[in-house]
Amino acid sequence: MDQAVSGFSKLSKEDKINWIAQTYFSEPEKAVKLIKGYWNSDPALQKLHDEFIENTITNFYLPLGIAPNFVINGKNYTVPMAIEESSVVAAAAKSAKFWATRGGFKTTIIDTEKIGQVHFIFHGSADKIQSFFNQNKADLIASTDSITQNMRARGGGIRSIELRNLTHQLNGYFQLHVTFETKDSMGANFINSCLEQLAQTLKTKAAEHSDFNAEEKAVEVVMSILSNYVPNCLVRAEVSCAVSDLVEKKIENPQAFAEKFVQAVRIAEIEPYRAVTHNKGIMNGIDSVVLATGNDFRAIEAGVHAYASRNGQYSSLSYAEIKDGIFRFWMDVPLALGTVGGLTSLHPMVKFALSVLEQPSARDLMQIVATVGLAQNFAALRSLTTTGIQEGHMKMHLNNILNQFQANDAERQQVKEYFKNQVVSHAGVVTFLENLRK
């Protein structure tokens, strides 16, 4: 079947749904029913969701969970987490409870600098373009005044602008490297608007510059765009306590546990294969809060993983040590987040999540998100170095297996009772269900 379609974006929502249903499903009526079953019952809310993106046909749900008891710098937080993976919310909540009685989490904002660049080609000497830049730097910044006015009133705006010579990597390639402070907004649109104005001013000034020849006057702007790599938009989250205070039900020998924990983190520092999975666990926590608060988790992922590679090899984001009888576990992570603008003022559940967090500033949210990432990492490493990761994870995953095999209430009760003291595995649950049904 030819599945190409012309003018799809111009079709009505109903026609889009019908085309999908009739093209890809043997029972189109059932497909339409499924699609419409996920519509919001409030037409106004559904219209709002429809307009977030293009070609919308329905909503795609993710569970929104709650992890309470996060003590961060002495303040108690209840954290909303949007994620589809079982055991993540439970692990975060368990870590929060564990550290709440051991001093809680400590966080520090190291910096909030964001970055954008104007990439351009200049066919002339580096000395000439540097001299031109020095002469016109103030005018370049001034040309953005109408864009930055409101941001400057809030204490933000352009921090710095410099010319970078990268001709050793690409013939004629220079860039304007610009740093920004965007306060409580993530600032993507603001930054990109500033960069496009800087690019236009650069071209205009170059065309008028008396010391440039005809070729040099024709500066070619390739692109103007923010960077999602923000190594100076950085927050630290950490926990610490006396090694002896680590004792609990599954940590009978706290010294041995602490030493093994530190070794596990050290392995993630030097072994990229382990580091990727280690950091993925951190991102389970980070992404779920970023998503719940309407921020861009793809940008966060890209920036964080670039940061994990900053020394030339992909490595652990977190670190651990034992010093003078004190166990310390910490992480520095780049997080460019916002609490105003974008979905934060539109999506009802994002507004709900920010209310649960008591309307945090962008700096507050950076600290909360980093804390949940560290908590997630602690939970994973505690499991890996004690009982193993699968015991807790599979117990949380049990409902998914039961749903997959459409277990009824009686079967669910018997399965859960049986596996209360047994190792849960997919094959074991399936076998038990089959025997029940015989």
Per-residue pLDDT tens over the stretch 142-154: 999 999 999 999 9
Options 85, 301, 321, 332, the catalytic residue = 85
Q: Following DSSP, what letter does each residue of 298-336 receive, concatenated?
A: HHHHHHHHHHHTTTSS---SEEEEEETTEEEEEEEEE--
Which residue ranges does the chain devote to CATH 3.30.70.420?
114-227
CA distance from start to end of the chain = 43
By the 8 A CB rule, do 347 and 293 touch? no
- Residue 265 has which token pair? 């983190």
Instruction: Grade residue 432 by pLDDT with cuts at 50, 70 and 90.
Output: confident
Q: pTM of the entire structure?
A: 0.89
pLDDT of residue 134: 98
In this model, does residue 433 exceed pLDDT 90? Answer: no
Options 119, 393, 395, 397, the catalytic residue = 393
In this model, does residue 3 exceed pLDDT 80? Answer: no
Q: What percent of the chain has pLDDT over 70?
A: 97
In whole angstroms, what is the distance from residue 106 CA to residue 100 CA?
11
By the 8 A CB rule, do 89 and 67 touch? yes
Q: What angle do CA 225, 229, 232 make, to 5 degrees?
A: 115
Provide the 8-state DSSP code for 209.
-
Nearest to 289 by CA among 121, 67, 104: 67
Nearest to 185 by CA among 118, 236, 233: 233
What CATH number does domain 65-111+234-387 carry, 3.90.1580.10, 3.40.50.300, 3.40.50.1110, 3.90.770.10? 3.90.770.10
Options 128, 217, 260, 280, the catalytic residue = 280
347-380 CB burial, b ≥16 within 10 A, e <16: beebbebbebbeebebbbbbbbbbbbbbbbbbbb
- Residue 221 has which token pair? 């702007």
Which residue ranges does the chain devote to CATH 3.90.770.10?
65-111+234-387
Active site residue 85: yes
What CATH number does domain 114-227 carry, 3.30.70.420, 3.40.50.410, 3.30.413.10, 3.40.50.1000? 3.30.70.420
pLDDT of residue 56: 97
- Residue matched to tokens 């297996």: 401
In whole angstroms, what is the distance from residue 14 CA to residue 255 CA?
63
Mean pLDDT across the stretch 272-279? 98
Give Cβ neighbours of residue 223 (< 8 Å, ≥ 6 apart).
118, 119
Options 296, 347, 364, 395, the catalytic residue = 296
In this model, does residue 244 exceed pLDDT 60? Answer: yes
Mean residue pLDDT of the chain comes to 94
- Residue matched to tokens 């009978």: 252
- Residue 392 has which token pair? 């807790």
Q: Is the dihedral of CA 23, 24, 26, 28 positive or negative?
A: negative
Instruction: Grade residue 406 by pLDDT with cuts at 50, 70 and 90.
Output: confident
In whole angstroms, what is the distance from residue 352 CA to residue 359 CA?
10
